[in-house]
Amino acid sequence: MSQNNVYTQEEGFSSSSFENFYTHFVQLTAQSGIRTSSKRESLLRALYSCESYLSAEEIYQVLHTEHHIRISLATIYKILTFFENLDVVSTVLTFPHKLKKYKLKRAVHHDHLLCLKCGTITRFYDATLEKIQEEILTTHHFKGTHHTLTLYGFCEKCQDE
Amino acid sequence: MSQNNVYTQEEGFSSSSFENFYTHFVQLTAQSGIRTSSKRESLLRALYSCESYLSAEEIYQVLHTEHHIRISLATIYKILTFFENLDVVSTVLTFPHKLKKYKLKRAVHHDHLLCLKCGTITRFYDATLEKIQEEILTTHHFKGTHHTLTLYGFCEKCQDE
DNA sequence: TTCCCTGCAAAGGATTTGCATACAA
DNA sequence: TTGTATGCAAATCCTTTGCAGGGAA
């Protein structure tokens, strides 16, 4: 699924305004042949304006009552799943009603390579690695929030010297 | 709900055989006017023989195919909810299908009061306290696994001296 | 024009509920 | 006998899916 690697080689969002955020989002997704849509933008905007987790229903309410945007719940679910595949949102399941809630990832996760000689830090992201870590969490009945992984070694330049 | 406090004043299970476990369970529940039933016993036995979490469906399969016990899924759900209220089982929600899974608590949770003078440790359990802690976890989007609470102070005897 | 995006309604799966019956005390 | 426990089927809730129509490139 090509949707999975939109951010692979890219830096995360760190802009403070939604416009910057959205521009960045469009640039990245365009590379994968994904089209823009006003509904997706609205949904991103709703997520962007909220610091905590929102359910599909809550997003539906915000869009309808506050912004008078006509969008179906089914579409909201589709877009949220789409964002999840893009790794743009993180999710949690709530007790006791097992509602799934979504929150925007304002910065894209990445791991680090650190050179023990020159100290250079290189960022990287590997979807498979992330998936395996998720599976390990599941196997051990953990609910993960985040992680950091730093691979220590020597960079190409320092190996040569 | 009187079902909530079956274990309040009691020590946890620590017996190694199911028979001891079940005898203890019956003794405790009988005090609350709860009747015995072969289905509940079967369900407890199934949970007892498994170290990890089981879903209602998995328990259903075990009881039907391995033990040839005729029990409906609805009843399994009812009994599991009953056990949950009794605080006999702990639960988790699994990704991505939001299956609820159940595991037997082999020891009953309790907190501690520790006297700073004589060092006596007194065990206690408070349902409301537990509930509030659950709410705090929910508010902060935490999935709690366990906790320990120790209240430090002076016991009645040491206060007098 | 092409093909992705959206809406609607129906389907889906896990869990709960209502009610009649079975069973423990 | 009395009230609890169970079974069955229908209902419920959140979420997904199929398909036709709408919209971006």
Tens of pLDDT, residues B40-95: 999 999 999 887 789 999 999 999 999 999 999 999 999 999 998 887 888 888 77
Contact criterion met (CB below 8 Å) for A8 and A127: yes
Name the region of B119 (left: φ>0; alpha: ψ -120 to 50; beta: rest).
left
Pairs of CB atoms within 8 A across A/B: 23
Contact criterion met (CB below 8 Å) for B161 and B151: no
Q: Per-residue pLDDT for chain A (161 aa), expressed as one digit of tens each?
A: 233 333 322 333 333 478 878 887 887 777 667 889 999 999 999 999 887 789 999 999 999 999 999 999 999 999 999 998 887 898 888 777 888 999 898 765 555 555 555 555 555 565 555 665 565 555 555 444 445 555 555 556 655 55
Answer yes or no: do A138 and B95 touch at CB < 8 A: yes
d(CA A91, CA A82): 13
Query: With a 7 Å cutoff on the CB, does B98 touch strand C?
Result: yes
Adjacent-strand bridge partners of A110: none
Edge-to-edge order in the sheet of strand B150-153: B121-124, B111-115, B150-153
Q: What is the pLDDT of residue B53?
A: 86
Element (H, E) at A27: helix A18-30
Phi/psi for A30 (5° steps) reads -55, -35
B47 CA vs C22 C1’ separation (Å): 25
A13 CA vs C3 C1’ separation (Å): 30
B108 token code pair: 């009953």
B79 token code pair: 């009994």
| A98 contacts in chain B (CB < 8 Å) | 93, 98, 100
Taking only residues 90 to 149 of chain B, the set having a beta carbon closer than 8 angstroms to any beta carbon of chain A reads 92-95, 98, 100, 134, 138, 141, 143
Q: Which residue has the tokens 């992984």?
A: A149
A77 CA vs C19 C1’ separation (Å): 36
pTM: 0.60
d(CA B109, CA A107): 39
